[in-house]
Amino acid sequence: MSDDQGRAQPPGNPIALSNPCLTSWLAHLESLHPSGQGGIELGLERVLRVKEVLAQDLQYPVITVGGTNGKGSTCAYLEAMYSFAGYRVGCYTSPHLLEYNERVRIGRLPVDDRGLCEAFARVEAARQEAGGIALTYFEFGTLAAIEVFRSRQVEVLILEVGLGGRLDAVNAYDADCAVITSIALDHTNWLGPTRESIAFEKAGIFRAGKPAICADPDPPQSLLEQARAIGADLHVLGRDFGYFGDQLQWTFWGRGGLRRGGLAKPALRGAGQLGNASAALNAIELLRKRLPISMQGIRRGLIELDLPGRCQVIPGRPVIVLDVAHNPQAVAGLAAKLGEMAFCARTIAVVGMLGDKDIAGSLAPLAGKVDLWLLADLKVPRGASSEVLSAAVNDSGLGGCVECFASPGGAFVRSAELAGENDRIVVFGSFYTVAAVMRSMQNGR
């Protein structure tokens, strides 16, 4: 049920789940909001009320990571470096690709179904005790993730912001160090139409007297003013920390003449990865007194990790590139990476996107670089039709031929049929699109 503004309301007959399977619990989470998993309703009041009932007072360092692009990569670097240094690391990210468990990890491994179900049960009991508050899918999941981490006694916690920052459920937990990776136009319906408005929302994760890191070398004034107003210790890429190097190795630098040299290039691909890795390293240096870490842990964390769906190259012929890029800045990064790859005869793009994205702006960086567009319907809340994508390709004069499909899986099957050994298949546009293609690849079709 919902009121006229689309806000979730307590269900009339809340279900009583004693020990359901994970699938049943996830269905329950979706039932609490009229838009299901895709429901967005910013604000901290609901989460804070249930958090209070659960008495979620965290006793270990928390690193919160926000930003338009690069959040997942930065979380992965932090998670890997602390894990290889011997810490018991809890990491909460979203969305997932194939299984919900991917969102909640301890020691770089997804938490088992039982751990999630037990946490969901505790959150549900607290939700009812708080008056049957109708949490969104993300809010419920965030509270449950914290319950998992508390029960498993983690030593450091990494939390990825879902949307924005100031009013995101993750911001119910105070950050000992807050990281903002980049600031670009995305989610403008919720965060405002300019970089200034978006930066203000993202800067809401900063805390007074605590380190605040911005890996965007050109931060909007609103972010600088927010950090100054609350007394956060702001570190900006290129001003307070940064990197230099060549194609073989690089050096991180920070305040006070700090240098960490001889670092191997990060395992993750993409033009912005040195910036993301530098932000993670700066956070580690700023928390070193509480969380001492060896250079061995740092070095292993930079190179011994992978993050599916982030400029992920599947070797073979034809080569397949999977990237969840879904806004202009991210697709520009993908286009740059494709330009660095070896020659290919043709590029075939498999694309599915959400309708509230800047579709034309997101496809523009690939103008003249795609020979065949295989465009797919996304049959999820807010999903765009292939006809909408086709109009964007044709109206913008991006070049290449266009075919439309009912699903990303169907579009990918067609790409495999058409691609020659020297061609390249690039899958992008949404987590949903990449996930659907990954499932298709697993099924061998």
Q: Which residues of 86-113 are buried (b: 16+ CB within 10 A; e: fewer)?
A: ebebbbbbbbebeebbebbbbebebbee
Structure tokens at 377: 């319907």
Instruction: Determine the Cα–Cα distance for residues 146 and 59; give it in Å rounded to an integer.
Output: 12
Q: What confidence tens digit (pLDDT) does each residue in 132-187 have? A: 998 999 999 999 999 999 999 999 999 999 999 999 999 999 999 999 999 988 87
Chain centre to alpha carbon of residue 382: 18
Instruction: Determine the Cα–Cα distance for residues 270 and 253; give it in Å rounded to an integer.
Output: 21
Instruction: Determine the Cα–Cα distance for residues 280 and 77; give it in Å rounded to an integer.
Output: 6
CA-based diameter of the chain, in Å?
Answer: 62
Residue 9 banded pLDDT, cuts 50, 70, 90: very low
Instruction: Determine the Cα–Cα distance for residues 9 and 12; give it in Å rounded to an integer.
Output: 9
Q: What confidence tens digit (pLDDT) does each residue in 260-299 have? A: 999 999 988 877 899 999 999 999 999 999 999 999 999 9
Burial of 196 (0-12, 13-18, 19+ CB in 10 A): middle
Structure tokens at 54: 């659960």
* Mean pLDDT over the full length of the chain: 91
Strand partners, 405: 376
| Amino acid in the structure at residue 112 | D
